[in-house]
Amino acid sequence: MNFYDVFNGDADGLCALQQLRLAQPADALLVTGTKRENALLDRVPARAGDRVTALDIALPGNRDALLALLARGVRVQYVDHHEPGPLPRHPLLEILIDTDPEVCTSVLVDRLLQGSARAWAVVGAFGDNLAATANRLADALGCDAATRLRWRELGESINYNAYGLSEDDLVYRPADLYRALAPYRDPDRFVESQPHAMRLGEARAADFAQADSVTARALGGGARLYLLPDARWARRVFGSLANRRIELEPRLAHAVAVPRPGGAQFIVSLRVPPDSSPSAHALCSAFGGGGRKRAAGIDHLSAKGLDAFADALAAAFPRPAIS
């Protein structure tokens, strides 16, 4: 019997798997990639009797591959927090999906494990831009302010590492980064013992220094669009920049767009205020993307489509949200 761990390469995916394997060790084959590489189950060559764990990958892009695995007799554990569409039912499928905007996959795994590796759930929640959720978990651990700051910086740096169009854009390949942190139950021991957190922090700071020089395009009164250049640093920073802007200006919607190499297509990351309507998912799904209520994205958008998206965003947010 073979084990396959299939997970999104961002902080939420890595930290969800970290918790699970600290509690339930398994010699598993790793299947992952950049944050935007969501359709991962079709890469899994599992056969009858094998076990697949899928973490933090949205169901719509993996539904057909999931059903094919189940039909082959593969047992699948599926944990996620993105909009799923209709939920499949099968005796070999164990599925936990919760789309509450204050929840991420790391929090769901923490729930399954009854907090046995909660420190990494805190790191994952911080990395997924859920500071209030992360702080509630940190409260349960009795963490002081300095510890929270260290874990937040670690989560944000791990999350930053996952953004790019291919693994060639990244500082570390996500599978390699997971293998580096896997031995450590304590996030602080990982930071102290390995160079990865420092290297990621330095690269992230350098990328943000360039991103901060980009002037936002105002869309109506309540939205901003940041158009980054065709460069590796821009493809790394664009998702983290959206998180940073919504934190600094929470009453506005923030979209960050970066060209795919060649400039004919764009990728977009969108963050909206907590109580806004429509949701980020609704806005992005109208252009072939998707995600969650407050955070979503589009993987392929033409220049003309980007203009139409900007118009839709401006219409949706004609004025800042009421705080």
Q: Which residue is listed with tokens 């969650």?
A: 292
pLDDT at 323 over 60: no
Count of beta carbons in the 10 Å neighbourhood of residue 19 = 28
Buried b (16+ CB within 10 A) or exposed e, 138-174: beeeebeeebbebbbbbbbbbbbbbbbbebebbbbbb
Q: What is the mean pLDDT of residues 260-278?
A: 89
What pLDDT shows up at residue 174? 98
Q: What is the mean pLDDT of residues 190-217?
A: 93
Q: How far is CA 275 from CA 4, 36, 39, 53, 126, in A?
A: 38, 25, 29, 33, 20
Q: What is the mean pLDDT of residues 2-16?
A: 98
The three-state secondary structure class of 120 is helix
Going 102 to 7 to 239 to 292, the CA torsion angle's sign is negative
Q: Break the chain into its structural domains and give their ranges.
A: 3-202, 217-316
Decide if 128 contacts 12 (C-beta within 8 A): yes
State how far the Cα of 223 lies from the Cα of 28, in Å rounded to an integer. 44
- CATH for 217-316, among 3.20.20.60, 3.10.20.600, 3.40.50.11540, 3.10.310.30? 3.10.310.30
Tally DSSP H helices, then E strands, for the chain: 12, 11
pLDDT digits (tens, 9 = 90+) for 134-151: 999 999 999 999 999 999
Decide if 245 contacts 226 (C-beta within 8 A): yes
Q: Which string of DSSP letters, residue by residue, matches 128-168?
A: TT-HHHHHHHHHHHT--HHHHHHHHHHHHHHHHHT-SSSGG
Same CATH topology for 3-202 and 217-316: the answer is no
What pLDDT shows up at residue 269? 94
DSSP state of 265: E
State how far the Cα of 256 lies from the Cα of 254, in Å rounded to an integer. 7
pLDDT at 177 over 90: yes
Amino acid identity of residue 304, one-letter, is K
pLDDT digits (tens, 9 = 90+) for 218-248: 998 899 999 999 999 999 988 789 988 998 9
In the chain, the percentage of residues whose pLDDT exceeds 70 is 99
What pLDDT shows up at residue 194? 94
Name the pLDDT band for 263 (thresholds 50, 70, 90): confident
pLDDT digits (tens, 9 = 90+) for 42-100: 999 999 999 999 999 999 999 999 999 999 999 999 999 998 999 999 999 999 999 99
What pLDDT shows up at residue 300? 92
State how far the Cα of 77 lies from the Cα of 94, in Å rounded to an integer. 5
What pLDDT shows up at residue 278? 85
What pLDDT shows up at residue 220? 80
The three-state secondary structure class of 118 is helix
Domain 3-202 architecture: Alpha-Beta Complex (3.90)
pLDDT digits (tens, 9 = 90+) for 286-319: 999 988 889 999 989 999 999 999 999 999 999 8
